């Protein structure tokens, strides 16, 4: 088995939250960053829209706070929202100083081209064309790789957190403490013990538990699953945001069609060429995502159509190509579609988990020395529905606050515990793994069919029964198998799917992203977080 690898800080995940945390603590100690793929493969990298922040006098902090609270449908934590909005502009300025190049208005050297997206009352989205996440990821990755105190371990996947259940010479004083994580180095097929004084979970989302998702394949809920197994508190997993507009491309990979296209003036139309959003909400195409996604779902069911269409053909052609070069080129290359000439076929797809590991306003989880930030965390910012482009901002603001917290409380010594090597034995036939792969497809189909945009008690109970059987099968297989990335991800997806279903069953109302056919109204009895 692998050796013990020590550092002051262990960061699991290489997106905006993990990198930002690492960069802020690296001057004060050694940092190990563990990332499942390369540093370019994260939800951050694929974020198209931008970062929401108040940067002009026409806008105000109060406007941004109010827009966030309205989108969150009564479940946002106001203190967290105020921190997000008030500290956001400074955090954005910081990454600009580090080299992030947001798009500026034509001919301007200082004035940014601010976009507007659904739920926002003002133009406040800073963007880098339609590849904002890639620009941020590139800048932060480059800075991290140059820092002498940061070591990046690519193609590694965390297996489980190391807690008092694993360590020997355990004392009562070591209760409910995270000591690091067991990590599989895929190319070596070895599990290493990464010990750290502080561990940051920044593993991103879990939307790959659904059949159709805008997320990369790595978004398998690893952080939430590991934390849940360690007894860390989780909240609001029922609130899954389905992005209204993913490219409809049967047989091809999902591809996000940014909300910024609607903010730029795009119109949603059904197969008959009729705009339908004015019949669902007075904000039309700029209504919050939950409303737009349900409207599209409703239109598709009423018309018995496989998709709807986002029409940009009435807008200036060169302007669309300049503003959305990545989307324009992708659609042209992959489907032969010129989006300035023909409408884009789109469908909703799972996009973002609003719940996650409960944290304080400084990223602390319910386990000592364990922090969480980004999509994996539940800060209370998003409530029942995330406001567009608040996610990258949340990753910046709360990872910075977590870094400041650990630097204030920093200890000089490692806990005096012995961390045993990973015990791996009992390799089984690969053919059995081939059969078990069907469990992955079954999880995704169950979640899409029964735990999607519109739910019911009957559907959720059916999903619970079927998912529990899969969960037990996977756990049994896991206990007697040689570890692989695929097996670890499958185990985590089964765990997260079950958490989402259990949470949804406990909310007998419709609120934000959680819409129940048999409980179509909101109920103040459920005006609270769902904690598991």
Any idea which residues carry the catalytic annotation?
Answer: 289
| Of 462, 463, 431, the residue nearest 447 (C-alpha) | 463
Q: Are 292 and 259 in contact (CB under 8 A)?
A: no
Q: Is 518 exposed, middle or buried (0-12, 13-18, 19+ CB in 10 A)?
A: exposed
Q: Are 44 and 16 in contact (CB under 8 A)?
A: yes
Instruction: Characterize the bridge pairing of strands 190-201 and 370-372.
Output: parallel
SS3 4: strand
Q: Are 507 and 239 in contact (CB under 8 A)?
A: no
The count of residues in the chain is 532
Which position has the token pair 């988990």? 353
Buried b (16+ CB within 10 A) or exposed e, 24-63: bbbeebbbbbbbbbebebbbbbbbbbbbbbbbeeebeeeb
- CA distances (Å), origin 330, targets 141, 186, 249, 338: 24, 31, 12, 10
Q: Are 370 and 360 in contact (CB under 8 A)?
A: no
First to last CA, the chain: 34
d(CA 202, CA 398): 11
Q: What's the order of all strands across the beta sheet hosting 240-247? A: 240-247, 344-353, 308-311, 267-269
SS (H, E, C) 177-225: ECCEEEEEECCCCEEEEEEEEEEEECCCCCHHHCCCECCCCCCCCHHHH
d(CA 223, CA 280): 37
- CA distances (Å), origin 289, targets 172, 243, 292, 341: 47, 6, 5, 26
How is residue 83 written in tokens? 């921190």
d(CA 472, CA 478): 10
d(CA 55, CA 60): 8
Q: Is 356 exposed, middle or buried (0-12, 13-18, 19+ CB in 10 A)?
A: buried
């Amino acid at each position: 088995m692998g050796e013990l690898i020590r550092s002051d800080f262990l960061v699991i995940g290489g997106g905006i939250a993990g990198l930002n945390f690492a960069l802020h603590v690296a001057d004060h100690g050694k940092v190990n960053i563990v990332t499942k793929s390369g540093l370019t493969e994260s939800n951050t990298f694929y974020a198209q829209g931008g970062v929401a922040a108040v940067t002009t006098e026409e806008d105000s902090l109060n406007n941004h706070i109010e827009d966030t609270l309205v989108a969150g449908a009564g479940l946002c934590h106001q203190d967290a929202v105020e921190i997000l909005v008030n500290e956001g502009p400074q955090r954005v300025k910081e990454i600009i100083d580090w080299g992030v190049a947001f798009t500026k208005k034509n001919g301007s050297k200082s004035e940014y081209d601010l976009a507007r997206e659904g739920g926002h009352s003002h133009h406040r989205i800073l963007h880098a064309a339609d590849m904002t996440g890639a620009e941020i990821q590139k800048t932060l990755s480059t800075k991290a790789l140059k820092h002498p105190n940061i070591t990046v371990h690519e193609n590694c996947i965390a297996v489980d957190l190391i807690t008092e259940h694993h360590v020997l010479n355990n004392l009562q004083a070591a209760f409910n403490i995270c000591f690091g994580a067991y990590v599989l180095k895929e190319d070596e097929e070895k599990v290493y013990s990464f010990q750290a004084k502080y561990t940051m979970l920044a593993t991103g989302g879990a939307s790959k538990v659904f059949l159709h998702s805008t997320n990369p394949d790595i978004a398998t809920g690893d952080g939430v699953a590991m934390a849940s197994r360690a007894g860390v508190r989780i909240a609001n997993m029922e609130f899954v945001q389905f992005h209204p507009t993913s490219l409809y491309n049967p047989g091809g990979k999902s591809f996000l069609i940014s909300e910024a296209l609607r903010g730029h003036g795009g119109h949603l139309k059904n197969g008959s060429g009729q705009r339908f959003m004015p019949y669902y909400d007075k904000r039309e195409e700029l209504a919050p995502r939950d409303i737009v996604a349900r409207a599209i779902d409703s239109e598709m069911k009423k018309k018995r159509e496989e998709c709807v269409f986002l029409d940009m053909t009435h807008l200036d052609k060169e302007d669309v190509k300049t503003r959305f070069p990545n989307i324009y080129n992708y659609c042209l290359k992959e489907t032969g579609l010129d989006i300035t000439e023909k409408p884009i076929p789109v469908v909703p797809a799972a996009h973002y988990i609003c719940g996650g590991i409960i944290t304080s306003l400084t990223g602390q989880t319910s386990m000592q020395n364990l922090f969480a930030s980004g999509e994996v965390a539940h800060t209370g910012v998003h409530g029942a529905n995330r406001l567009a482009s608040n996610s990258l901002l949340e990753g910046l603001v709360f990872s910075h606050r977590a870094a400041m917290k650990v630097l204030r409380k920093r200890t000089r010594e490692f806990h005096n515990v012995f961390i045993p090597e990973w015990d791996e034995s009992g390799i089984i036939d690969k053919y059995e793994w081939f059969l078990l792969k069907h469990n992955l497809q079954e999880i995704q189909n169950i979640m899409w069919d029964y735990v999607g945009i519109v739910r019911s008690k009957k559907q959720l109970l059916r999903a619970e029964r079927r998912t529990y059987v899969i969960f037990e099968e996977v756990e049994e297989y896991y206990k007697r198998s040689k570890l692989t990335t695929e097996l670890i991800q499958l185990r985590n997806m089964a765990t997260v799917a079950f958490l989402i279903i259990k949470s949804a069953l406990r909310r007998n109302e419709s609120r934000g992203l959680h819409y129940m056919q048999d409980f179509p109204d909101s109920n103040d009895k459920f005006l609270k977080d769902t904690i598991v």
